[in-house]
Amino acid sequence: MNDLEFKTEQNRFNLHHLATDKFKTNLIQVFFMLPLKNEKEAAMNALIPSILERGSKNYNDNQLIKTELENLYGSNMSSNILKRGENQILRFSLEMVNEKFLTHKSNLTVDAFKLLNDIIFNPITESGKFKQKFFEQEKEILKQDILSLINDKYSFAVENCLARMCKNEKYGIYKLGTVSALAEISNQELYDHYQKIIKEAKRSLFLVGNFKSSFVENIFEETHLDSGADIYDDHTEVVYQDKEPDYYEQELKVNQARLSIGFRSGITRKDPDYYSLLVFNSLIGGSTHSRLFQEIREKRSLAYYVSSSIESTKGLLLINSGINAENHQKVIEVVEKEIKAVADGEFSQDEFLRSKKSIINHLKQDLDSNKSLSAHFLLSLVNDKEESINKTIGGVEAVSEDDIIAVAQKLKMDTIYLLKSEE
Amino acid sequence: MESIYNKNMDERLVKAKLDNGLNIYIFPKKDYVKQYAMLSVDFGSNDIDFIDVKNGRRRNMPLGIAHFLEHQLFEDKEESIFDKFADLGASANAYTNFDSTNYLFSSSSNFEDSLINLIEFVEDPYFSDENVKKEKGIIVQEIKMYQDNPYWKSYFNLLSALYSKHPVKNEIAGTEESVMSITPEDLYICYYNFYLPSNMDLILIGDLDPQRIINLIRENQAKKHFPHFKNPVRIIEEEPENVAKKLVEEKMNISRPMVQIAFKDPVQSEEPAQIIKKEYIVNLLLDIVFGNSSKNYNELYDQGIIDNSFSCSYHKKPDYAYVHLHGESNKPDQMREKVKEKLVDIDHDEIKENFQRIKRKYQGSFIRLFNNFNNLASEFINYRRLGIDIFELATIIEDIKLEELLAYSDKIFNKDFMVESIILNED
């Protein structure tokens, strides 16, 4: 078995290649890193990929693109806007089955990559702008996407909590921008912005799978990709402060109240205590063996879900739960009590070992998924700390009980947000 | 023990059946770190009405009992089941759907101990007044969470419009009221009726030694006594051909209206292979007519009537079947009109032109299935319950003929069997 590590190829583009024949499919991803500046730019960055996906010069409408992808044995092409630290990351993803499992011979990878390339770099233009029809339609659809956050009450609570918590930081900007900022965008400025991204944004290319060497060698002949800096974050502001937690309530007609509690850990992937944070998160709320799951759900029957998660570029920890509104104070008290207990070293060795094993188990399983391998490497690249999964596992293994206590002591509750039913 | 090797896919399936009736299926995956096990019980939310194997009495159980039982089995006298798995570095989970309850774990070490854990906790029920009462609070929160989900809400409104008798119209977790009425005794009755090894399948995937694993399970099972081997008789009342309601409307706090449309497809008794084949045929047909490469999809997208929230699929089981189309739209009335209009008048030439390409897409998605253990296990059990091994799907897809699509295209979208479920914005 190979070690499943990304190798950075010496090339004029930032090619990160993980060669393996483990998967039935090959995965190609192109990333552009776009620092969060304001809501209008965020909306522009989110709008560009959906316009590009509508049609390019050689594949000039959606129907033709989808037809071509189906011809390529149902290859998947998609674009996403991710938020990592104070950046939007624009990800284009292409996944196709490995030719060796097909009974008919085919040049799938090359053909699919040609399509992706055309979509990203060769948009249809009309007098130096995007095609007006695509621009208008996708602007309307993005508006609907922004508004549709309310349909998913879990995410609605999370985003509202983070927006309030980071209202004075770039991180507080929603990854799709706002409806009012979107309305201000003109086709011309959007196209100019696109040109700027293509020329100046930090970018990377990931390959995961069993690619022919001729493909990897010639990939740059086939593409318009220019050289530029590899993606890494050098500006995210890690805020870590002592303050009384802010409390916000929002009313909406809901059956279940949602509680989100935001904390500052001040710990990012670059920090040595990042591995301790991983283990702490597993102990407090990352899984079903965690303290909060046991105390809030299993012992007190107050919730169906209660979990914690970390943001490791900005240094945040978030606890989320769905509850009856009248219990919110009780839940907050349990959260405070459990974090304090860990900070006081009141946890058993079994709990400690379990939490470590759980993290290691999940990391190991990431080795079996092309997308997880890519997501893990992306985060390490963003945080300027290239690291294989096996190396992260090594870091977790070295964590001691005292390290966890230190993380728990470091954690600062910042913002409490409650979404509840109208009185 | 039987071993089937599929050369095209370079995949192997090992099968064994124990004396007590438990079926074991193993996919050995070389070079994979992840190990995955799923114990699937042939007992889902649809199984609420049955003849008790102990006394021949008809039992009518509260809605949501299968899902409740799934939660309750995680209760143990001493230690938390989740902790037991976590101690081994494995993580356990479970889910209930219309026709099965599935207990699973994934691990990267200690597979054998974890596997024994899985079998032991599913085969060792412990229901008390106290722990049942506690679980009610948790499940009521789960139900409330789903009530705030507009897709889920309108999907079950749609099913309740399609079916007047068939239990698939009921929410999997039941209602707050039905859940509150569940007693430990109800749970024990369901347990001894359905949780028999002969009513279960064990699916294992990973870099495993099949012979060794099968021996291990056989040894474990030999130590236990199971009272009887008869499988329970389920009662499904006869479903009328007609739909229950044509339209269900509801208001929720959402960004824009959500439209769901379904066509009820009356069922006849069919061979398992035929059921699966028909499911593929109609899904291919839907992709041609309303998939995102279709003329219709792109025309309505262009007119701002639908967007990429739109999707369509066909679901077929031995006892029910329906076509399902749904999406969000700010022009819900136009969307309803247009979709109906297009489906009632399908162009045969369009089917002919696109058939081969869409078939290819399905061949690709079959290959992809083997990438993801979780999907592989759930799809495998789906087909296995119908009596088909997953490798046979490749042949089923390959054998689909254009004529079969054409034949269904004229009769499956019958307006008389159409229902709609609409969620509108709260004012």
Tell me the C-alpha distance between A392 and A376, whole Å. Answer: 10
Tell me the C-alpha distance between A329 and A320, whole Å. Answer: 14
Domain match, A203 and A252 both? no
Q: Which residues of A touch B361 (CB under 8 A)?
A: 70, 73-74
Hey, are the CB atoms on B34 and A62 less than 8 Å from each other? no
Strand residues in A123-256 grouped as ranges (E): 125-126, 129-130, 202-209, 246-251
For chain B, the straight-line distance linking the first and the last C-alpha, in angstroms and rounded, comes to 63
Domain match, A273 and A160 both? no
Tell me the C-alpha distance between B175 and B185, whole Å. Answer: 19
Phi, psi angles (nearest 5°) of residue B386:
-90, -5
Residue type, A230: D
pLDDT at A104 over 80: no
Q: A274-306 burial, b if ≥16 CB within 10 A, otherwise e?
A: bbbbbbbbbbbbbbbbbbbbbbbbbebbbbbbb
Hey, are the CB atoms on A148 and B328 less than 8 Å from each other? yes
Which residue among A206, A222, A238 closes a domain? Answer: A222
Asked if A61 reaches chain B (Cβ–Cβ under 8 Å), the answer is yes
Domain match, A25 and A73 both? yes
Among partner residues A23, A25, A73, which is closest to B360 by beta-carbon distance? A73
Cα nearest neighbour of B255 on chain A: A148
Express each pLDDT in B136-167 by its tens digit.
999 999 999 999 999 999 999 999 999 999 99
What's the whole-number average pLDDT of chain B? 95
Please, which pLDDT band fits residue A332 given cuts at 50, 70 and 90? very high
- Interface A–B counts its CB contacts (< 8 A) at 181
Residue A241 lies in a domain: no
Listed in sequence order, the residues at least 6 apart from B277 whose beta carbon sits closer than 8 Å to its beta carbon are B396, B399, B400
pLDDT at B229 over 70: no
Hey, are the CB atoms on B360 and A61 less than 8 Å from each other? no
Cα nearest neighbour of A96 on chain B: B364
Instruction: Indicate the helix (H) or strand (E) that contains B24.
Output: strand B23-28
Q: Tell me the percentage of chain B whose pLDDT exceeds 70.
A: 100
Residue A330 lies in a domain: yes
pLDDT at position B79: 81
pLDDT at position A2: 52
pLDDT at A11 over 70: no
Domain match, A211 and A256 both? no
Choosing from B11, B70, B79, B271, which is the catalytic residue? B70
Cα nearest neighbour of A293 on chain B: B82
CATH number of residue A16's parent domain: 3.30.830.10
Q: What is the DSSP letter of A24?
A: S
Q: Which residues of A touch B106 (CB under 8 A)?
A: 361, 365
In the numeric block, the tokens 């850990």 are attached to A265
The DSSP result for B311-361, as a single string, is: EEEEEEETTEEEEEEEEE-S-HHHHHHHHHHHHHS--HHHHHHHHHHHHHH
Express each pLDDT in A258-277 by its tens digit.
999 999 999 999 999 999 99
Asked if A135 reaches chain B (Cβ–Cβ under 8 Å), the answer is no
Tell me the C-alpha distance between B279 and B321, whole Å. Answer: 9
Residue A232 lies in a domain: no
Domain residue limits at A133: 7-222
Please, which pLDDT band fits residue A10 given cuts at 50, 70 and 90? low
In the numeric block, the tokens 């070293």 are attached to A345
Asked if A369 reaches chain B (Cβ–Cβ under 8 Å), the answer is yes
Residue A279 lies in a domain: yes
pLDDT at position A1: 41
Domain match, A212 and A250 both? no
Tell me the C-alpha distance between B102 and B96, whole Å. Answer: 6
Region A336-352 average pLDDT: 97
Instruction: Chain A: give the shortest CA distance to residue B81, in Å.
Output: 9
Region B342-367 average pLDDT: 93
Region A183-207 average pLDDT: 96
Region B389-403 average pLDDT: 95
Residue A402 lies in a domain: yes
Domain match, A194 and A153 both? yes
Region A397-419 average pLDDT: 98
pLDDT at A228 over 90: no
pLDDT at A129 over 90: yes
pLDDT at position B159: 98
What distances in angstroms separate CA B121 from CA A135, A146, A285, A287, B126, one per listed residue?
Answer: 56, 44, 24, 19, 9
Instruction: Chain A: give the shortest CA distance to residue B211, in Å.
Output: 23
Region A71-82 average pLDDT: 95
Hey, are the CB atoms on A305 and B145 less than 8 Å from each other? yes
Domain match, A95 and A163 both? yes
Tell me the C-alpha distance between B72 and B184, whole Å. Answer: 10
Asked if A360 reaches chain B (Cβ–Cβ under 8 Å), the answer is yes
Q: Which of A92-106, B23-37, B45-59 has the lowest mean pLDDT?
A: A92-106
Domain match, A41 and A116 both? yes
Of B426 and A246, which is predicted with more confidence?
A246
Look at residues B194, B425, B151 and name the one whose alpha carbon lies nearest to residue B310: B151
Hey, are the CB atoms on B142 and A153 less than 8 Å from each other? no
Tell me the C-alpha distance between A116 and A99, whole Å. Answer: 18
Express each pLDDT in B75-133 by its tens digit.
888 788 999 999 999 999 999 999 999 999 999 999 999 999 999 999 999 999 999 99
Please, which pLDDT band fits residue A413 given cuts at 50, 70 and 90? very high
C-alpha R_g of chain A: 23
Express each pLDDT in B179-222 by its tens digit.
999 999 999 999 999 999 999 999 999 999 999 999 999 999 99
Cα nearest neighbour of B91 on chain A: A358
Residue A100 lies in a domain: yes
Domain match, A184 and A305 both? no
Asked if A10 reaches chain B (Cβ–Cβ under 8 Å), the answer is no
Express each pLDDT in A143-190 by its tens digit.
999 999 999 999 999 999 999 999 999 999 999 999 999 999 999 999
What distances in angstroms separate CA B159 from CA B47, B152, B163, B243, B332, one per listed residue?
Answer: 16, 11, 6, 10, 19
Domain match, A216 and A250 both? no
Residue A237 lies in a domain: no
Q: Which residues of A touch B259 (CB under 8 A)?
A: none
Q: Catalogue all structural domains in chain B, each as residue range(s) with its CATH number.
A: 2-234 (3.30.830.10), 247-425 (3.30.830.10)
How many domains does the structure of chain A reveal? Answer: 2
Predicted TM-score of the model (pTM) = 0.94
Residue A234 lies in a domain: no
Active site residue B11: no
Domain match, A202 and A145 both? yes
Domain match, A397 and A273 both? yes
